[in-house]
Amino acid sequence: MLVAGNWKMNGTGADLDTIAQIADAARGFETVDTALCLPATLIERAARGRPAFPIGGQDVHAEQKGAHTGCVSAAMLRDAGATLTIVGHSERRQAQFETDSDVRSKAETALSSGLGVILCVGESDEVRESGSAIATVSAQLDASLPHGDAAARGVPTRFAVAYEPIWAIGTGKIPSIAEIEAMHAALRLRLLAAYGDAGDQVRILYGGSVKASNASDIFAIADVDGALVGGASLTAADFMPIVEAAADARH
């Protein structure tokens, strides 16, 4: 199981104590890989404070360097102490107009640079209501997956997929157990088609309003290998029960 927190645009130096509390508490759950994906400005201080705890970025540029004002490269993330990054979060796909092909390039660059990658996919509420969620998200994954040398080097060990229905992010709504199970099974088939046997080892996380009260039910679903957690990752009191639920899950 992998439980990763996404702090989005939250956190300043005043929150380093919270990060340290989470990192310290996570050591008590050896069977769960725990990580926090932080604002770029916090990565170096967080990584310096708890060097053994995985700290990630929330985005990475597809190019290694150059004239890209405001962007962060894979080399910069690694230099700051990050060991992984999110790519393709729906908030970036929507607000920054990132395409599947952009997301694929970012994933390939990150993997080639030695970072782990959590690649996000997910459908809008219109798509869910139209009945085409599985077809849409499967196509999105097919077009976003890394290939070539980067994939050969990073899949499956440094690569995870996060299924995050856009309508479930930050809303308190989640899909039914059957809907999550059907989506994860479909995404597993796409990973097997893309990577052969290695596709079976890629972790598929669920994300969208995960909290202590629903985590155990979500982790009991077949092919749910962890969670990407937004709001409930901002305090140890909210986040650690989710990590504990992952530790208690049977698969």
Contacts with ligand PEP by CB under 6 A lie at 6, 164, 169-170, 207-210, 228-232
Residue nearest to ligand PEP (CB): 230
Query: Toward ligand PEP, which CB reaches closer, 63 or 100?
Result: 100
Query: Toward ligand PEP, which CB reaches closer, 15 or 164?
Result: 164
Helix (H) or strand (E) holding 84: strand 84-87
CB of 70 to ligand PEP, least distance (A): 21
CB of 163 to ligand PEP, least distance (A): 10
CB of 213 to ligand PEP, least distance (A): 13
Positions marked catalytic: 89, 164
Query: Toward ligand PEP, which CB reaches closer, 6 or 105?
Result: 6
Return the sign of the alpha-carbon dihedral for residues 37, 43, 46, 47: positive
Query: Toward ligand PEP, which CB reaches closer, 11 or 195?
Result: 11
CB of 42 to ligand PEP, least distance (A): 17
Residue 81 has a CB neighbour count (10 Å cut-off) of: 17
